[in-house]
Amino acid sequence: MLELVKAGGWPMIPLLLLSAVGLAIVVERFWSLRARIVMPPGLGDEVRAWVARGGALDPGHVESLRQNSPLGALLAAALDVRNRPREAIRERVEDVGRHLVHRMERYLNTLGTIAAAGPLLGLFGTVVGMIQMFLGILDHGMGDVNQLAGGIGKALVCTATGMVVAIPALAFHRYFRGRISEYIVDMEHEAMQLLDTLDPA
């Protein structure tokens, strides 16, 4: 592995940095986007039962719900304006939902940039390697054909590394986007059910 890094030359350094950043983002997003963190099981039922009992809603309880999870924040937003018309509650839920999407998509733009930049950096490294090789030919002649083939192989190491960095980054970027979209659909469903409980008519 170390030999491949050496073969690629200095353009391998930004590629290795990109791979480290990409791995850190993937691990962090997997941790932050766990289902029980975003949508704790039974939370929607619990809040609807709480509202259906008709008791006074304690502001401290609502604030605790807001800090509980993204789903809790969305439901708390609906409870904050529960005495307003249904359309006003819906608008508040949609507004908070947009902020939650932005929060859940944290670092995903960076991951997408890594997916796009990886192959370009790999190609750049290959071009640098090829330039160095041809300058060597210019100075010393063709020399050994096997050595020439080895030089081309070393130059292509950067391209291969760029793809190895970019492909997983792109796959995880799309995966997390899809996962967030599923969460948003489920959270909107929970919010609409709460809205029906607040305003049965």
Would you kindly state where each structural domain of the chain is located, as residue ranges? 2-198
Token readout for 170 is 């792109």
Q: Is the pTM of this model over 0.85?
A: no
Closest CA to 74 of 61, 87, 92: 92
The span from the CA of 106 to the CA of 99, in Å, is 11
List the structure tokens of 6.
């050496």
Q: What would the pLDDT profile of 116-167 be if each residue is shown by its tens digit?
A: 999 998 888 888 777 777 776 666 666 555 556 656 766 788 888 889 999 9
- Picking from 85-89, 154-158, 182-186, which range would have the lowest pLDDT averaged per residue? 154-158
Cα within 13 Å of Cα(97), Cβ side: 21
